[in-house]
Amino acid sequence: MRTLHAFFPAAAAATFGCLLTAPVAFASEDDKLNLNAEAGKTTETAAGASGGSIVRTILGLVVVLGVIYGLHWVLKQVKAAKDTGETGESLENIATLNLGTNRSLHLVRVGGEIVLLGAAEHQVTPIRRYSEAEAYSLGLLEPPSMTLASLEAEVETPKGLMNLLRAKTVVK
């Protein structure tokens, strides 16, 4: 429903652009003959009429740019609606391993659990479920990143003679 509301401004702009096409395209044969007869008049009248054609050209350019901007906006709205609708907050793809044509293993976080899924051409099969503690102990997940305090503690205690010399000689 949301994408339908986003479609209406672009459709209105496209319709308005079509209505502003050159009137000569919709003229009858008699009108076209009159236009050809007027083309033989002096250059003074042609110079005076060129101001209107410039305005019409600029107006047409503005309409075309408006249609392009409208389509860009509509496509951006549709993409945003798709992106938020597909992914949930509780699902996260951790890793994927391709086993062959149309066969793969997926490690997926579902809430507080880690699930190993086997995906084939026509089915998805859960193979095993792990708790987060099990996944960390088995090495399926990397441990949480180190905090700033733990990094500072490592820097303060250099290990080995070369690291001790570097710590003493490097300008901070």
Residues with Cβ within 8 Å of 160's Cβ and at least 6 positions away in sequence, in order, are none
Q: 74 and 36 in one domain?
A: yes
User: Is 172 inside any structural domain?
Assistant: no
- How many domains is the chain built from? 2
CA atoms within 13 A on the CB side of 7: 5
Structure tokens at 96: 């994927």
Entry pTM: 0.37
User: Is 72 inside any structural domain?
Assistant: yes
Domain stops at, among 57, 86, 115? 86
Q: 8 and 30 in one domain?
A: yes
What rounded mean pLDDT belongs to the chain?
75
User: Is 168 inside any structural domain?
Assistant: no
Question: Could you tell me the residue range of the domain that residue 99 belongs to?
Answer: 91-147
- If one compares 112 and 172, the residue with the highest pLDDT of the two is 112
User: Is 154 inside any structural domain?
Assistant: no
Which residue(s) pair with 131 in the sheet? 113
Residues with Cβ within 8 Å of 13's Cβ and at least 6 positions away in sequence, in order, are 63, 66, 67, 70
Question: For the chain, what percentages of helix, strand and coil (3-state, to nearest 5) are there?
Answer: 60, 20, 20
Q: 82 and 130 in one domain?
A: no
User: Is 129 inside any structural domain?
Assistant: yes
Q: 123 and 62 in one domain?
A: no
Q: 75 and 32 in one domain?
A: yes
Domain stops at, among 86, 105, 128? 86
Is 81 a residue whose pLDDT tops 70? Answer: yes
User: Is 50 inside any structural domain?
Assistant: yes
pLDDT in tens, 122-164: 999 999 999 888 888 888 777 766 555 665 665 565 567 777 6
Confidence of residue 22 (pLDDT cuts 50, 70, 90): low
Print burial letters for 112-137: b (CB count within 10 Å at least 16), e (below 16).
eebbbbebeeeeeeeeeebeeeebee
